């Protein structure tokens, strides 16, 4: 049924030659303009028709990574301007990173998100955005059946989201969704009590707003699930 499917624009289309804003290396970025989803899982991971590894690749293509220095970003490289300090900081962080050193040569699909998180720190991203990159890395790991890495990125996402809830004055939908995700990721990590507390917190933030009624329903459903799992 085509109407149940939704094309998710990622803001770019067609193959393209790009130049790395950090090291100047020119390469052809592989990416997709749109992909089709058939709903989302309870941590908002898109369900994509076909093999899970194909889905992982489509999600992964939301980030461009330089094959020479591993600079990575969700934005089009052509639209990026990095200050001298940001460039210097990104370069240093990428060089020092242990995971990149180990995995650079075989470049698993989650690596681009990891690199984008490192570069996001150098570029002064908000914790909310860093958490989102880690969340997307965990989706890719799940589709690739990389369980330990999935948990690693879920945990990192939780830490960024908690910092965001504490420091970044989130409001409205973003506040509710972030609090919910702290609960949901804790549930997936096996911390059921913690999950239940955060579902309650998330429910308080929606205050019966009809625009987030879908989230209230999701919170109810996942609360029941966490209660069963905690028992």
Report, in Å, the least distance between residue 118 CB and Zn ion: 13
Report, in Å, the least distance between residue 25 CB and Zn ion: 5
Q: Where are the alpha helices (DSSP H) in 36-126?
A: 52-60, 84-96, 98-103, 111-122
Question: Per rule CB under 5 A, is residue 92 in the interface with Zn ion?
Answer: no
Question: Per rule CB under 5 A, is residue 23 in the interface with Zn ion?
Answer: yes
Bridge partners of residue 28, in order along the sequence = 17
The 3-state DSSP class for residue 66 equals coil
Question: Per rule CB under 5 A, is residue 90 in the interface with Zn ion?
Answer: no
Residue recorded with tokens 């002064």: 124
Q: Would you say 69 or 135 has its CB closer to Zn ion?
A: 69
Report, in Å, the least distance between residue 22 CB and Zn ion: 5
What mask, x for binding Zn ion by CB under 5 A, covers residues 32 to 71? ----------------------------------x-xx-x
Number of residues counted as binding Zn ion (CB under 5 A): 8
Instruction: Give the binding range for Zn ion (CB under 5 A) out of 2-10, 22-30, 79-87, 125-133.
Output: 22-30
For residue 51, CA distances in Å to 58, 136, 144, 177, 197 come to 11, 18, 10, 28, 35
For residue 56, CA distances in Å to 16, 205, 206 come to 21, 32, 31
């Amino acid at each position: 049924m085509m109407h149940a499917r939704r094309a998710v624009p990622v803001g770019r289309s067609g193959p393209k030659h790009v130049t790395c804003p950090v090291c100047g290396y020119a390469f052809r970025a592989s990416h997709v303009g749109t992909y089709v989803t058939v709903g989302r899982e309870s941590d908002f991971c898109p369900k994509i028709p076909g093999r899970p590894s194909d889905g992982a690749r489509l999600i992964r293509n939301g980030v461009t990574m330089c094959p020479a220095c591993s600079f990575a970003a969700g934005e089009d490289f052509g639209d990026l301007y990095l200050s001298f300090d940001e460039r210097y900081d990104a370069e240093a962080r990428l060089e020092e990173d242990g995971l990149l050193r180990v995995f650079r040569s075989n470049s698993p699909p989650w690596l681009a998100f990891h690199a984008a998180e490192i570069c996001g720190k150098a570029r002064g991203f908000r914790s909310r955005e860093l958490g989102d990159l880690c969340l997307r890395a965990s989706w890719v790991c799940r589709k690739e059946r990389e369980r330990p890495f999935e948990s690693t990125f879920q945990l990192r996402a939780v830490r960024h989201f908690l910092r965001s809830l504490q420091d970044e004055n989130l409001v409205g939908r973003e506040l509710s969704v972030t609090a919910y995700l702290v609960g949901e990721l804790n549930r997936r990590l096996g911390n059921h009590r913690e999950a239940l507390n955060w579902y309650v917190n998330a429910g308080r933030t929606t205050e019966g707003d009809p625009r987030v009624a879908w989230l209230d329903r999701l919170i109810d459903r996942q609360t029941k699930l966490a209660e069963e799992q905690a028992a």
